[in-house]
Amino acid sequence: MLSERDDEGQMLLATGMVLMMSLLSMAIFGVKMAGIAMPHDPAGDTTITASAEIVDSLPALTYDRAQIWYDGGLSEIESVEKAMASLHDDILHHGEIRGVELKLLDITVSELDGIITVNCELGAADRNSMLENSIEFTINLDE
């Protein structure tokens, strides 16, 4: 008779534990849904900041890299294309370090009267936001 009561007590305890775990799980889910679990992140503008840095520095970085290849004997357009390809990879890595996905999309390099025009889209995203910027700039490596 004593072992039967022990078994009943253990079953009652196990049932209570399962119920408590279910209630706790629902409470955690409710808090996440309400957004209460997410403290204010003052660095929440990372996507905007990172994409602004890229937009501001991309023309100068492209020029500097293209100039190295141009001085090495490549044509202007080939130099700029190589520069943009290498910057694409570096920007991906820069975004990974910052916790933001940064990607150059639809890169086109064209030449008209010795002036190289670069057009591309910069996609930037983190878990909270997504941003897309159109970038266009010109480069003249003969200057």
**Residue 41 pLDDT greater than 90, yes or no:** no
Mean pLDDT of 26-32: 66
pLDDT at 30: 65
pLDDT tens digits, one per residue of 79-90: 999 999 999 888
Domain 46-139 has CATH 3.80.30: no
For 85-115, how does the pLDDT look when each residue is reduced to its tens digit (9 = 90+)? Answer: 999 888 888 777 777 888 999 999 999 887 8
> Concatenated DSSP letters for the chain?
-HHHHHHHHHHHHHHHHHHHHHHHHHHHHHHHHHTTTS---TTTTHHHHHHHHHHHHHHHHHHHHHHHHHHTT--HHHHHHHHHHHHHHHHHHHHHHHTSEEEEEEEEEEEETTEEEEEEEEEEE-SS-EEEEEEEEEE-TT-
Segments making up each domain of the chain, as ranges: 1-38, 46-139
